[in-house]
Amino acid sequence: MQQPIFSDELTWRDRLRYALLRLPLFALLWWILIEGKLAGWWYGIPVILLAVLVSLLLLPAPRQPRPLMGTVRFVGFFLWESLRGGIDVALRAINPRLPLNPDLIDYSLRLPEGNARIVLMNTISLLPGTLSANLRDDCLQVHTLDDNPQTMQSLEQVETVVAQLFGIDI
Amino acid sequence: MGIIEWVTTIFLLAGAFFFFAGTLGLLRFPDVYNRLHALTKADNVGLGLITIGLMLQVDNWVLALKLLLIWFLVLLTSATAAHLIANAALRGGLPLWRRP
C-alpha cells in the first residue's frame, strides 16, 4: 500500500499554522546566505517555499511547544561543556604521557524515541570525554576517554538538559 | 594594530592551537574511537574560536550571522559523522584499545 505523502495525524489548519511559523525562519536563513543583498530574492522565494514544504514532510510538527527557558539553558550548557570538552581532549593529546583510560559503557536512556534522542546523542559526542557509539533499543553505548564514576552523572545531567529543551518530563 | 585586530589575532591563534591539538590527537591516540574524540571536540572549539575572531572583522553584520551558521552546520555534521564512524567500527567488530 502506498504511504500518504502527509501523515494523517495533523489537520490542514495545523499544517498551515506550522508553515506560517516556519516561513520567516527559512526566509531569515536565506537572507543570511545571500548576505542581505536584494538581488537574491528572485529565486530565493521559490526556494524558501520549497524548503517549508520539505520541512513539513520531514518534520510534521513538534510534539510539545519548546520551552524558552529550556532552550536558553541548553545553549548555555552546550557552549560551556563543549568548550570544556575541547580543552580536555586537547590537553590529553599534547600530554607526553597520553592520559587515556578508555572504556565502553552502557547508558539506559530515559528519553523517548525521536528527535530528542538524536539531539542527545550529538550533544554527548561534543561533551568532555564521551562519544555516542551505538544505540540498541533503549541502551546507548558510550565510548569514554577516561573511565570514571562521574561519567554516568554527567550523562544523566546532559539527558535532563535535553529533556528540558524538548519540554519532556523524564 | 587596533584593539579589535589584537583580539582577533588572539582568537585566531587560540583556534589554530585547538586544530593543532586535535591533529596531534588524531596522530597519537591509539584507536579510531579515541581519535574521533580528538577530531570532533578539539576542532569544534578551534572552529568556534576562529569564527569569533573573524566575526570581529566583518563590516556587514549579516556576514557575522553567516559565519555562526557555518560553525553550527559544521558542528552538526562533525557530531553526526563521528557517531556514524564509531558505530560502523563497533558493528564491524573493531576492538577497543584499553590501557594495558
Residue A145 has pLDDT above 60, yes or no: yes
A6 part of a folded domain: no
Share of residues in chain A with pLDDT > 90 (%):
64
Q: Are A155 and A144 spatial neighbours (Cβ–Cβ below 8 Å)? A: no
Q: Are A149 and A103 spatial neighbours (Cβ–Cβ below 8 Å)? A: no
A44 part of a folded domain: yes
Instruction: Give the gap in angstroms from C-alpha A79 to the nearest C-alpha of chain B.
Output: 9
A52 and A91 co-located in one domain:
no
Average of per-residue pLDDT across A141-154: 93
Report residue A105's pLDDT band, with 50, 70 and 90 as the boundaries.
very high
A81 and A145 co-located in one domain:
yes
**For position A115, what pLDDT does the model report?**
87
Residue A92 has pLDDT above 90, yes or no: yes
pLDDT tens digit sequence for A17-71: 888 989 999 999 999 998 888 777 888 999 999 999 999 888 876 656 678 899 9
A2 part of a folded domain: no
A96 part of a folded domain: yes
Number of structural domains (chain A) is: 2
Q: Does A121 touch chain B (CB under 8 A)?
A: yes
**For position B77, what pLDDT does the model report?**
95
Strand partners, A143: A104, A131
CB spacing of B40 vs A126 below 8 angstroms: yes
Q: b vs e for A88-105, b when ≥16 Cβ sit within 10 Å of the residue's Cβ?
A: bbbebbeeeeeebebebe
Residue A86 has pLDDT above 90, yes or no: yes
Report residue A1's pLDDT band, with 50, 70 and 90 as the boundaries.
very low
Q: Does B19 touch chain A (CB under 8 A)?
A: no
CB contacts of B46 in chain A (<8 Å) are: 86
A49 and A125 co-located in one domain:
no
Residue A147 has pLDDT above 90, yes or no: no
A16 and A44 co-located in one domain:
yes
Query: Which letter does DSSP use for residue B96 in this model?
Result: P
A3 part of a folded domain: no
Average of per-residue pLDDT across A2-25: 76
Q: Report the residue of A29, A34, A89 to disrupt the B interface, i.e. the one with the largest count of B CBs within 10 Å.
A: A89
Average of per-residue pLDDT across A151-167: 94
ipTM metric: 0.93
3-state per-residue secondary structure call for chain A = CCCCCCCCCCCHHHHHHHHHHHHHHHHHHHHHHCCCCCCCHHHHHHHHHHHHHHHHHHCCCCCCCCCHHHHHHHHHHHHHHHHHHHHHHHHHHHCCCCCCECEEEEEECCCCCCHHHHHHHHHHHHCCCEEEEEEECCEEEEEECECCCHHHHHHHHHHHHHHHHHCCCC
CB contacts of B75 in chain A (<8 Å) are: 126
A76 part of a folded domain: yes
What is the distance between the alpha carbons of residues B43 and B26, in angstroms, rounded to a whole number?
A: 11
**For position A64, what pLDDT does the model report?**
63
pLDDT tens digit sequence for B35-62: 999 999 999 999 999 999 999 999 888 9
A107 part of a folded domain: yes
For chain A, what is the mean pLDDT? 89
The backbone torsions φ and ψ at residue A141, rounded to the nearest 5 degrees and listed phi first, read: -90, 125
A34 and A82 co-located in one domain:
no
A78 and A117 co-located in one domain:
yes
What 3-state class would DSSP assign to B99?
A: coil
Instruction: Give the gap in angstroms from C-alpha B1 to the nearest C-alpha of chain A.
Output: 27
Residue B30 has pLDDT above 60, yes or no: yes
> Nearest to residue B33, comparing CAs of A87, A105, A110?
A105
A99 and A132 co-located in one domain:
yes
For residue A149, give its domain range: 68-166
Q: Does A134 touch chain B (CB under 8 A)?
A: yes
